[in-house]
Structure 1
């Protein structure tokens, strides 16, 4: 049985991990064993932070809408309820953009939603 040398395969595998570690600080960028561990950890952080980014942006959009609603004298929850009742389908990202860029249009949107019949109050 002839001896098999895995030099090319090993070199390719090492280069792959070292390429992923490009830009890291210290030995993490040029020592294979350390670079591989650092790259795997970086991928874990990237996955975690993509989820966090979604949460943070949704929180920011809600804050902007809430501030604009407050300026127009309506609560955020009442505004969202009235939007759904009026059949206006706008997501929070677009609503936040309207509130942030064009406050007059947002005021018109609030007036449009409050034009509907007021919500029934709960009797005690």
Structure 2
């Protein structure tokens, strides 16, 4: 079995979050989804997120739940294949109800911009020029 990354994220409204990420082009695997969680496929065979209702997420931890709209613990960073992919995903995130906390940054060899999802989780999208 190859290694995978599965990021677990608490969400207030599971169906709204599913719709938001579906608008970005991500899919969901019903085999690992339920009324309290949705298994989101970001990159087939490797990168996933488990969107969990806050109640279900809270049942798995013994500390207070961080409200991402109030404080952040992580920024999820995804590499993109092109600057256009970064811009396209940002545009879809904003159209689906997300927001951009800062303008794009163009460093010539690297281009990035982030978005905040419906629950305040920060996602950064980055493209880097191929190395010679």
Task: Give yes or no for TM over 0.5.
Answer: no
TM-score, normalisation: structure 1:
0.24
Give 1 or 2: higher helix fraction: 1
Higher alpha-carbon Rg: 1
Give 1 or 2: higher strand fraction: 2
Higher relative contact order (CA 8 A, sep 6+): 2
